[in-house]
Structure 1
């Protein structure tokens, strides 16, 4: 049984929370000031500290700086309103989560179900670091290059907190794998991880898919439907291609992030959302905001902790490790293991990889199928090689006058790239670093 310390100056609120904590199997003590909290912690180290931000003798946040006193306790801040500043402060000071007052029984139960000592999380990160040195893997990601080491450091730092993460990077760089690694290292690991591609759902259905709907709320709604927020309760919701979400729905998502509640389509009853959101985009978020594809207020609410994944061309030293990883994966699935020859590795190193790690995996799958023996040569691998910048002709250049509206510049770039790729849409999408769905949407807008 764990022990919780409730630092709350309102006696009624403190008693109510102590009762709820006790009902979940924890012993509970209360403190009405920082002075009292320090005294109680000195007598018995709590597993969990529920800490009010405003106390009679100071700011509750200051207690987080007393590392010897906090020791191995998990700290959850309590605040009267959720804000971006609160999230950033909680992360900076090492808090695991924060609750919005008045605290509901459901909110508190969710927190108590995830209590995990910080030392346990640190030990798991240390184990992943050892695995990285030994196998070249960190969670679901593969690579030892310096750019990936920076990514791992950020993932390890943010996973143990509750803050929202925004992962950016070109198509195929592994944004969902980064999100899964955050989830697996978090206190929510025992709850669901759900991934939603906002660009792959019809605009007419996306609200229902994300928030759910009531029976009879629209034509065809023959039964109540639980959306992704309800199905991911207590866990992590990965919103990929967030810039493809319709603007009207972005407003509702912002409200969920700010209030922690939502309503199903056709309902007037509010539902609590105990979900951690990890968003992702293969577009530059700042450009998406300027083009009107992403609301600025939503961007700032999602971008509490940004992580940018490097393209494969910026971490070519990881290629042999990735090749071995994918061939082992394919071999285990197909029942026969094959390896890449030196000539194959040399060709792979010269390729541009516009589709990044995903394209590499697909290329190796094809080469594996086409190779009769157990050594994969360069015969069935991509033949397009890197072109030195000095050798690139004007045919591959696009000149856009200064002052051209972003939407017009984007149109010119997409159509020029489509022409350059011989109207092969898969290659065009890979070269632009966008999904095929996004490319189709743009071409539809342009009447192509």
Structure 2
């Protein structure tokens, strides 16, 4: 167990004599206060884990010093006082500073409290890791030090400065939009617009308007002119996410634009010229989508001048724990916190398969930070275990309910669980986004 440092500020000689007899103090590396500067500033600079402070006076300036130097978040205090009411001390305790013992002092209780603190900080330092920085390499918006990621970086750098249309292929959650954005900023016009649109999350009736825009009065509800994404991304990059989920009718129109370079806003006769680089993405196997009849082969060849495959997280080796620490370091910086991560938690993270890839890992760390006090432990990690193995093969199905009603309940329940995300819902249900939209439209008419 590592040596725990304790800052000591005591003024009453009788109290000093009594505390000196406590065996537990011999376990600490003691740092004594000097008489030349306020103890609040000293404890903030001491790098100690625990502070044993006898309080006579404590004012707003002292409170602000502890708060501004972030001492309250990484030092545990044990205050000793005669019990005189002090609003700033009360405020410290509400901020979770630690313990406050009032005279007459129970030395046995103080000893037990210090022992608990010693074990807590000694164990935490030994079995957990402080995470204040990221160790991962970075290229554009991507982070990772594995060979597969460095190969991806080199590929992006080569294609970024060309005019080739790029198709990014990878599982949900691997960071396909970050790859697309990195292709954009590594190119010749990083300051130009980057516009992203999820083809699977749009109503089929609105795709033309979202892609090409519309003029006022083009259809019911068109109260003003609207710029489509081809206009918004002019001179830059247009990112078509989940492009294989685009309805076939719109695929034909997109193909026509790619072939001719021309398009019209809905309700307009004015011909516009497309001036965008197309980067698209899909979590499907494009060839399988073509074979299934949901994606046009000629459109695929137009879009995939240069296909890029993004590795799943499970194939990225030490990047898995590296990303966990990366996300924790950035959250610590954003929240001015100093949360650590236990070695058993890192081991569990490394052993998990991560079907949801980087997105799942990021959300797992964010949830764990909320649940954990100072150290993220294995018990704070939610790793897809809400359904036990014994339950996974058995589902309670009520009798007397039609298949259509069961299907509707399953769709609406999954949609709710995915916060309305239709692409993720369709993927979980094993149907196309178009099928999901058709089902939802039918339910809205019932």
TM-score interval (norm. to shorter): 0.5 to 0.7
| Residues 280-359 of structure 1 aligned to structure 2 (within 5 Å) | 280-359=281-360
Partner residue in 1 for 2:425 = 436
Partner residue in 2 for 1:230 = 231
Q: Deviations over 1:31-89 (max 9, x none)?
A: xxxxxxxxxxxxxxxxxxxxxxxxxxxxxxxxxxxxxxxxxxxxxxxxxxxxxxxxxxx
| Residues 38-437 of structure 1 aligned to structure 2 (within 5 Å) | 135-373=136-374, 375-383=375-383, 435-436=424-425
**1:204 Cα shift?**
1.0
- TM-aligned CA distance change 1:302 to 1:205, over 3 Å: same
Contact 1:173–1:310 (CA under 8 A) maintained in structure 2: yes
**1:439 Cα shift?**
4.5
- For 2:236 and 2:437, locate their aligned partners in 1 and report how far apart those are by CA, in whole Å: 36
Contact 2:135–2:326 (CA under 8 A) maintained in structure 1: no
- TM-aligned CA distance change 1:307 to 1:344, over 3 Å: same
Contact 1:188–1:236 (CA under 8 A) maintained in structure 2: no
- For 2:169 and 2:160, locate their aligned partners in 1 and report how far apart those are by CA, in whole Å: 17
Contact 1:164–1:305 (CA under 8 A) maintained in structure 2: yes
Contact 1:367–1:380 (CA under 8 A) maintained in structure 2: yes
- For 1:244 and 1:383, locate their aligned partners in 2 and report how far apart those are by CA, in whole Å: 29
**1:245 Cα shift?**
1.0
TM-score (norm 1): 0.58
Contact 1:239–1:279 (CA under 8 A) maintained in structure 2: yes
- TM-aligned CA distance change 1:213 to 1:439, over 3 Å: farther
Secondary structure of 1:213's aligned partner: coil
- For 2:272 and 2:172, locate their aligned partners in 1 and report how far apart those are by CA, in whole Å: 34
Contact 1:165–1:303 (CA under 8 A) maintained in structure 2: yes
**1:210 Cα shift?**
1.1
**1:332 Cα shift?**
2.6
**1:358 Cα shift?**
0.2
**1:276 Cα shift?**
0.5
- TM-aligned CA distance change 1:424 to 1:244, over 3 Å: closer
- For 2:157 and 2:325, locate their aligned partners in 1 and report how far apart those are by CA, in whole Å: 25
Secondary structure of 2:279's aligned partner: strand
Q: Deviations over 1:202-246 (max 9, x none)?
A: 111111011100111111111111111101110101100001111
**1:376 Cα shift?**
1.2
TM-score (norm 2): 0.58
**1:328 Cα shift?**
1.9
Secondary structure of 2:240's aligned partner: strand
- TM-aligned CA distance change 1:149 to 1:302, over 3 Å: same
Partner residue in 2 for 1:126 = none
**1:425 Cα shift?**
6.9
Unaligned runs of 5+ in 2: 1-133, 394-405
- TM-aligned CA distance change 1:426 to 1:311, over 3 Å: farther
Of 252-261 and 435-444, more deviation after overlay is shown by 435-444
Secondary structure of 1:262's aligned partner: strand
**1:198 Cα shift?**
0.8
- For 1:286 and 1:173, locate their aligned partners in 2 and report how far apart those are by CA, in whole Å: 20
- Tell which structure's C-alpha radius of gyration is larger: 2
- Identify the structure with bigger relative contact order (alpha carbons < 8 Å, sequence gap 6+): 2
- TM-aligned CA distance change 1:240 to 1:215, over 3 Å: same
- For 1:427 and 1:168, locate their aligned partners in 2 and report how far apart those are by CA, in whole Å: 25
**1:443 Cα shift?**
5.5
Q: Deviations over 1:323-351 (max 9, x none)?
A: 12111222232221323221111011121
